[in-house]
Chains A and B, each alone.
Chain A
Amino acid sequence: MPKIAILADKCVGCRLCEAVCSARLVGNFNSAQAAVHVESSLPEEALIRPFMCIHCDEHPCVNSCPVSAIVKNEETGLYGVDRNLCTSCGACVQACPYKGIRLAPIDKLAIKCDFCNGQPRCVDVCPKKTIVTI
């Protein structure tokens, strides 16, 4: 199964990943609605890195969801959120140790990377090769 790896030391915080992700998910440029989220801990520490679903094997988000809204795409074998089923309870957000799933600010429904069904746009656009597939 393909996975995402985040080489955090390389991130410069350009947030192009957020821009292309939102373009696909919501059809406009809207960082807040992206499934990837860049955070920085400046000025205390010089840490900058994207947080997103890395498609781990354990998928605690799936196990935590009381309404089984995080469903497997049988073609790719990867999990995505069925937003029709999500009830905004936030259990998945609590369960994920990677900060890989969050509630979108507008509709409060869970939002998570679905690997663009094969070719992640964030991996493609990242100028510093911070987000890679493995």
Chain B
Amino acid sequence: MVYGYVGKVLRADLTRGKTSIEPLNMDWARMFAGGKGLGAKYLYEELKPQIDAFSPENVLILMTGPLAGTTAPCTAKHVTITKSPQTGTFLDSYAGGYFGCELKFAGFDAVILKGKAKQPVYLSINDSQAQLKSANGLWGKDTHETERLVKEELGDKDVKVASIGPAGENLVTFSCITNDLFRQAGRGGAGAVMGSKNLKAIAVRGTQGISVPNIDKFVSLCKEVIANDVLKSPDNEWVIKDGTPAIIRMSNEAGILPTKNFQSGVFKDVDKIDATAIKKVLVRRRACYSCPMACGNITLIQDGPFAGTMVEGPDYETLVLAGSNCLISDLGAIAKYNLLCDKLGIDTMTTGDVTAFAMECYEKGIITKNDTGGLELTFGNTEAYVKMPEMIAHRKAIGKLLAEGVQKAAAKIGKGSEDFAVHVKGLEYPGYDPRGSISMALAYATSDRGACHERAWSVGAEAFGKLDPFTTEGKAQLVAGTENLYAVKWSLIVCDFYAIGYPNMSRLFSAATGWNISEDELKLMGERIWNLTRLINAREGFVRKDDSLPKRISKEPLPEGKAKGYVVKQEDFQKMLGEYYKLRGWDDEGCPTKEKLKQLSLT
């Protein structure tokens, strides 16, 4: 009897139009838990190194965790794992909602897709059965329309749908996969990989159960964890009260709120996009499966040119990267932009960052109205701003270049624009400026999918906590330790917004599976998983120089706020990076050593 997991993997060979079912590799599950770790293991074994991310040979994996679909709090997310077309690295991108749980109710822990369909198709999964169906009538449709049409065709409103929009079809490198309308596997372009395979959507419906060894004991444990930790810990208070917009003020006060394409860390109109502003347009809160916190804010814009826009969000990263970073303070415009990105199927974070980058190019005269299709693309110009998602998703005018992300766009545009393309490995920076929270420079540099804030949110302990945000001391340790913890969280999968520690992860994982998993074993597992994704990237050719620091962050001091005058000096950054490699047991190029791999049972 398999507990926690449901014990099966669905495979689809899109080239041959065939599906098959096999048992989940339980030896791997014991070593890598699920989610990130287990998906990375399958990818490591099955991805041919150095292939193009859009090659039919690329592998697209949807993986759940052993707690999804149970009463374990905040465990609904599933992960999409593939080689990223945006960065060329390992990619893991998480989405909440209900889709992952439904996949387990349908009898599958994972779906592994390969090949390329001759015609657009969608994969329909229904209680251990799977079928590839024609998606000719869906191609070109946005994600909300696709979800509606698939439910209609299958005649079941309880079907859960993950789909791509026009952007994914057009291979925009930061296309996302949208499920349950407003939940996205956002970063890194998993949606474009789907598009390259002519796969428009995955629909899933399940009526089977997930078993645990002792269900009464398990439910009691979950209720205790919810009451005594999730709803009680001060670390989760902000999630329950406001959701992610709570962080806007914290970042602004710390002087690290990206503003005007990272030219400042302070936004003068912050009160127009903060949690109080969101409260004014809030309709209701929304949760993922099994989450008692409900971070989602469903908002409805009441007046102005964008009246009637309803969206789940905007969340912190969207408010920042598509808000302050573009000097946009009109919440209605940000909500509209968010909704457009969701429906067209592009990541709001990267879309915001590339828009800000293009605005700076325009203001500096590097691009002109000839490039922008006649748009006056200045910072803060709402009218031009809301046209960008459509231009990017359909690769119109400058959108054609921006669809490749800031790294490749800057390489083509040139004229010094590389100096203000703020990214690591081609993934644009998230919403925390390291010049006022230095550990984030290391976290972005060593993140396995390019600049990501969710591999080590060390800003919490640093700029928002007690640690000095300007010194390198102890930061390598902080980042490495947090990465290991998050690697376990992302494998079990527990949502990043629940500040769970090793003790409760050990209790929930053990109770769900019947295995006895100690905290020490989890710590080792986290390190093992982090080394595995590093191995995948090393195999793709990534070395020390790719763990980089953007020029703007190292050369241009912040002009105002708490971090005024600060940069992250290249020498300080290299010092942290060296300490980090040493701590990790990696060589000078950042590659895991044989001894380390042996210690982690990775050879």
Contact = CB atoms under 8 A, between A and B. Distances in A.
Given A42-B181, A127-B231, A128-B294, A31 B101 contact: yes
A122 to B, nearest CB: 12
A43 B288 CA distance: 16
A28 B211 CA distance: 5
A29 interface: yes
B219 A43 contact: no
B310 A13 contact: no
Interface stretch (A15-23, A53-61, A64-72, A86-94): A15-23
B310 A16 contact: no
Contacts of B580: none
B289 interface: yes
Nearest to B227: A127
Given A13-B286, A14-B289, A127-B226, A20 B71 contact: yes
B135 interface: no
Contact of B215 (A28, A39, A42): A28
A67 B289 CA distance: 37
Interface string B275-314: 0000000011111111111101010100000000010100
Q: Which of A31, A48, A124, A128 has the most CB of B within 10 A?
A: A31
Interface string B255-292: 00000000000000000000000000001111111111
Query: In the complex, which of the residues A9, A43, A106 has the most CB atoms of chain B within 10 Å of its own CB atom?
Result: A43
B165 interface: no
A20 B101 CA distance: 15
Contact of A20 (B208, B219, B288): B219
A28 B291 contact: no
Contact of B290 (A14, A42, A46): A14
B207 A12 contact: no
Contacts of B144: 43
Contact of A46 (B219, B289, B300): B300
Interface residues of A, number: 30
B215 A27 contact: yes
B70 interface: yes
A30 B210 contact: yes
Contacts of A12: 284-287, 294, 296
B280 to A, nearest CB: 15
Interface string B47-76: 000000000000000000000011100000
A108 B101 CA distance: 22
A14 B294 contact: yes
A118 interface: no
A125 B209 contact: no
Contacts of A20: 71, 219
B9 to A, nearest CB: 20
A29 B216 CA distance: 11
A79 B206 CA distance: 28
Contacts of B285: 12
Contact of B289 (A15, A27, A33, A106): A15
Contacts, number: 95
A12 B98 CA distance: 13
Contact of B105 (A16, A31, A124): A31
A16 B209 contact: no
A43 B300 CA distance: 11
Interface of B is mostly: loop
B287 A14 contact: yes
Interface in A2-17: 9, 12-16
A32 interface: yes
B292 A23 contact: no
A26 interface: yes
Contacts of A105: 207
Given A14-B292, A46-B310, A29 B210 contact: yes
A125 B310 contact: no
Contacts of A121: 219
B569 interface: no
Contact of A16 (B158, B212, B290, B312): B290
A125 B408 CA distance: 50
B596 interface: no
Nearest to B296: A12
B151 interface: no
B207 A15 contact: no
B117 to A, nearest CB: 28
A30 B215 contact: no
Nearest to A37: B158
A13 B215 contact: no
Contacts of B551: none
Given A31-B101, A33-B207, A46 B298 contact: yes
A15 B290 contact: yes
B265 to A, nearest CB: 33
B207 A19 contact: no
Nearest to A47: B284
B284 A29 contact: no
B209 A30 contact: yes
Contacts of A14: 287-292, 294
B11 interface: no
Most buried by A among B70, B144, B157, B215: B215
A15 B99 CA distance: 13
B539 interface: no
Nearest to B148: A43
A95 B231 CA distance: 40
8 contacts: A13-B287, A14-B288, A23-B71, A29-B209, A29-B215, A30-B207, A42-B182, A128-B292
- Across the A-B interface, the 3 shortest Cβ-Cβ residue pairs: A28-B209, A127-B292, A30-B209
Given A27-B215, A32-B105, 20 more contacts: A12-B285, A14-B294, A15-B290, A19-B289, A27-B209, A28-B210, A28-B211, A28-B215, A29-B210, A29-B211, A29-B212, A31-B69, A33-B209, A42-B181, A43-B144, A46-B283, A106-B207, A127-B226, A127-B293, A127-B294
